[in-house]
Structure 1
Amino acid sequence: MAAMLRYCFITEWLDPSSGVLWKYQLFWYPETKEVEMVDIKNRRHFLKRTKYEELRASLLYIGSMVTIFGRQLKLTEYGDDFTRNSIESQTERTLAMIKPDAYKNMGKIVDAICQSGFLISKLRVAKLSKEEAEAFYSVHRGKPFYDRLTDFMSSGRICAMELVAPGAIRKWRELLGPTDSNQARAEAPGSIRAQFGTDKTYNACHGSDAPDTAAEECAFFFGSGRYPGKCDVARGTTLCVVKPHVVADGAAGLVVDMIQDVYDITAAQLFTLDRNAAAEFYEVYKGVLPAGDFNAMVEHLTSGPVLALEVADRDGADAVEPFRQLAGPMDPELARVLRPESLRARFGLNTIKNGVHCTDLTEDGVLEVSYFFTILAQA
């Protein structure tokens, strides 16, 4: 009888109450959708082999955060050679960057990425200074197009993403198409640059060209101690949080696209929240909602990555109340009756998994935006 397929990882969990860092072996059995955890220090089972269908293969790579029964674990090492050899070939990473000329089409491009089989493991909107743009493109320093390129790249917001997929570098460059957008329209009309680019410089997106370059470019945006081009938190903006079930389904780009049809997105970032952060963020609902609903909301918000968006009115008006109308009623069933074109009507499943969170009160707009983009982003 053939042995059952099993993957093993070394994981860490920081106990928020005691501050103690625990290490576990995490075993995943994809054929039966079961997990098992062993406490490394005490050499005993922490979780016996148990059914857990929420864990997916796309989340299993070093550096990833996975949630097992409400406990967030960081995957730090492979637990054996079989896992290393099996997973590494499936989890190549590359940097994708949406340039200022295509930023208005961010939702459409993110959706194309998700529909092409990539996992977006990290995402951040930034506005590069001239110096940061020069540093990122330093390999081109001295070339005739360098000044024009760095002026362009520091002229507006960009969206940087770390993409994970088998052969991610080649796959992303194929989805991009030729560097010259005019050539792309002739040779690869379905490509990103053919659809959203203008010429060889204003060509919608950037992609790493080799593994070493990909590692350096991802570190530029997502490495420790590095935070280029932080977007300022504006007055009158509101917060939208795309919830984990929408992100996991690869539909976040569709949400962004619906928002960009009407509003500007002035900041965006993927976050993985622990229970303390989620409970603190939802504190205003504690005592207002039944305890079971509050706990379920917190559990869902910690069940996977969320995409936080700062949303601004294009004419400078306060965005909180108008955006609530686009979000729709909290109950998706009610939203489908009263506001069938709303975000919750389209992406909500129930009152807990209702697609998106939006700021409820005008006076809370800047507070909620600041919580994500000032407090959590710098934690």
Structure 2
Amino acid sequence: MAANLRYCFISEWLDPASGILWKYQLFYYPESKEVEMVDIKNRRHFLKRTKYEELKPSLLFLGSVVTVFSRQLKLTEYGDEFTRNRMESQSERTLAMIKPDAYKNMGKIINAICQSGFLISKLRIGKLSKEEAGEFYAVHAGKPFVDRLTDFMSSGRVVAMELVAPGAIRKWRELIGPTDSNQARAEAPGSLRAQFGTDKTFNACHGSDAPDTAAEECNFWFGPGRYPGKCDLAAGTTLCLVKPHLVADGAAGLVIDLIQESFEVTAGGLYNLDRNAAAEFLEVYKGVLPAGDFNSMVEQLTSGACIALEVADRDGADAVEPFRQLAGPLDPELGRVLRPASLRARFGLDAVRNGVHCTDLPEDGVLEVNYFFTILPTAS
């Protein structure tokens, strides 16, 4: 790799105090893992070239939100033709969907996605109405199988994801296998449809078949003002946040799989929290924890994408306390002694990067769930 190789993006940052939208040239030097920022309006350096290993090259694509020294920047344009030519082919997008029949295996499928080199740039759990399912599958209108298909797709929750990778469309279709699950078991026994599908309709997963289709399908789920399949929030549920360090490490699917062994996941989405939202959400801990610990928790929640999940007890009981037991002690080191099977003991690094956040008090369950799924802007 050339020592002077650099990529350039135009990025935006909304100043939460003034409401001013600032634009910067963001330069990334992959060989030295350095960043540099130039204030476009004032034509001067905002950040001189400096080492910043926390920025992952896989996050450098249009529409991505990256964090540079606690400042969240949205990448809106390529900064030069060299970057466009080098990066455009490396960041193809496709729409992936986990269908109702495979929803119970969501964690396993998301783990397979992460282990196959995809980046999940957007994610939302929803339950489509029959009309919304018909809109999504409008290309099949009038075909004899469409009623069965739309009945099936509106029969339970689905997981919609925008995946980013080189050759993402072809790569995802190879991972899910042939449309007919029986054919998949014969020809691609390791594929997702072979493992989790039943037939040609109940076939576990959906994947876009071409760039135009991918753009249309991603817009259906994640376009401006779009929120198909919005789930009604249930009583007695609790909130789980899969923290940014686990999402970045590709471990979210493993966490979700363990949750699904004992609980139902009834809503979910991927969020990029700004500092104001993270501080507001964690406000209950302000004054309880030392100021340094509170600030570190805010920094972690704003360091990258997190996945919010509404978690319900399978028997309809209040889920807050049982799920808190699964999450384990706040400090993973203590968890590894007292509750070695807990999520924080398995995935946590320290008291801040401890894998997951969970609701601590029964009366806060509805408040935390509503904060993410009602108060905050819709998930990515």
TM range (shorter): over 0.9
Post-superposition Cα deviations, 1:297-345, rounded to whole Å, max 9, x if no partner, equal 0001000000000000011000000000000000000001110000000
The 8 Å contact of residues 122 and 163 in structure 2, kept in 1 or not, is answered as: yes
The one-character-per-residue Cα deviations of 1:28-78 (angstroms, maximum 9, x if unpaired) are 001001100000000000001111000011100000000000000000000
SS in 1 for 2:90: coil
| Residue in structure 2 matched with residue 13 of structure 1 by the alignment | 13
Q: What is the rounded CA distance, in whole Å, between the counterparts of 1:334 and 1:72 in structure 2?
A: 32
Name the counterpart of 1:340: 340
What is the TM-score of this pair, normalised by structure 1? 0.99
**Are 1:217 and 2:205 matched, yes or no?**
no
Q: Return the alpha-carbon distance in structure 1 between the equivalents of residues 183 and 377 of structure 2.
A: 39
| Aligned-partner Cα distance in 2 for 1:33–1:229 | 40
Q: Deviations over 1:223-266 (max 9, x none)?
A: 00110010111100000000000000000000000000000000
Deviations 1:91-145 (A, max 9, x none): 0000000000000000000000000000000000000001000000011011110
Question: Does residue 175 of the first structure (1) align with residue 175 of the second (2)?
Answer: yes
Could you say what secondary structure the match of 1:89 adopts? helix
- Root-mean-square deviation (CA), in Å? 1.0
Q: State yes or no: 1:228 paired with 2:228.
A: yes
How many Å separate the matches in 2 of 1:319 and 1:194? 33
Find the aligned partners of 2:55 and 2:337 in 1 and give their Cα distance: 33
Once the two structures are TM-superposed, the CA of residue 219 in structure 1 deviates from its matched residue by: 0.3
Identity %: 83
CA displacement at 1:376 relative to structure 2: 1.2
Tell me the residue number matched to 1:48. Answer: 48
**1: CA distance, partners of 2:229 / 2:93:** 22
Alignment-mate amino acid for residue 142 of structure 2? G
Counterpart-to-counterpart distance in 2, 1:63 and 1:378: 16
Secondary structure of residue in 2 paired with 1:261: helix
Q: Which residue of 1 aligns with 2:296?
A: 296
Output the amino acid matched with 2:373.
F
**Runs in 1 of length 4+ with deviation above 2 angstroms?**
none
Q: Secondary structure at the match of 1:321?
A: helix
Which residue number in structure 2 is paired with residue 62 of structure 1? 62
Shift in Å, 1:375: 1.1
Counterpart in 1 of 2:108? 108
Match of 2:272 in 1: 272
User: Could you tell me how far 1:173 is from its partner in structure 2?
Assistant: 0.3
Q: State the partner residue of 1:163.
A: 163
Question: Is residue 3–residue 32 contact of structure 2 (8 Å, CA) maintained in 1?
Answer: no
> Aligned partners of 2:92, 2:287: CA distance in 1, in Å?
45
Q: CA deviation at 1:3?
A: 5.6
Q: Offset of 1:378 from its aligned partner?
A: 3.8
| Alignment partner of 1:142 is 2:120 | no
For 2:318, the equivalent position in structure 1 comes to 318
Match status 1:369 vs 2:365: no
CA contact under 8 A between 2:2 and 2:31: conserved in structure 1? no
1:29 corresponds in structure 2 to 29
Aligned partners of 2:205 and 2:138: how far apart in 1?
A: 18
1:314 is aligned with what amino acid?
Answer: R
Partners of 1:143 and 1:20 in 2: CA distance: 51
Alpha-carbon distance between aligned partners in 2 of 1:128 and 1:300, rounded to the nearest angstrom: 33
Gaps of 5+ in 2: none
User: What residue in structure 1 maps to residue 39 of structure 2?
Assistant: 39
Partner of 1:238: 238
Q: Secondary structure at the match of 2:36?
A: strand
Query: What SS does the corresponding residue of 2:8 show, helix, strand or coil?
Result: strand
**Deviation by residue 1:248-300 (Cα, 9 ceiling, x = unmatched):** 00000000000000000000100000000000000001011000000010001
Contact 2:3–2:31 (Cα < 8 Å) also in 1: no
DSSP 3-state at the match of 1:102: helix
- In 1: Cα distance, 2:256 partner to 2:378 partner: 23
Q: SS of 2:262's equivalent? A: coil
Provide the rounded CA distance (Å) in 2 between the counterparts of 1:202 and 1:144.
Answer: 16
Report the Cα offset of residue 377 of structure 1: 3.5
- TM-score, normalised to structure 2's length? 0.99
Q: In the superposition, relative to structure 1, how do residues 76 and 2 fare at CA in structure 2: closer, same or farther (>3 Å)?
A: closer
Contact 2:278–2:298 (8 Å) recurs in 1 = yes
Kept after mapping to 1: 8 A contact 2:107/2:255: yes
- 1:205 matches 2:221: no
| Cα distance, 1:2 vs structure 2 | 5.8
In structure 1, what is the Cα distance between the partners aligned to 2:376 and 2:99? 25
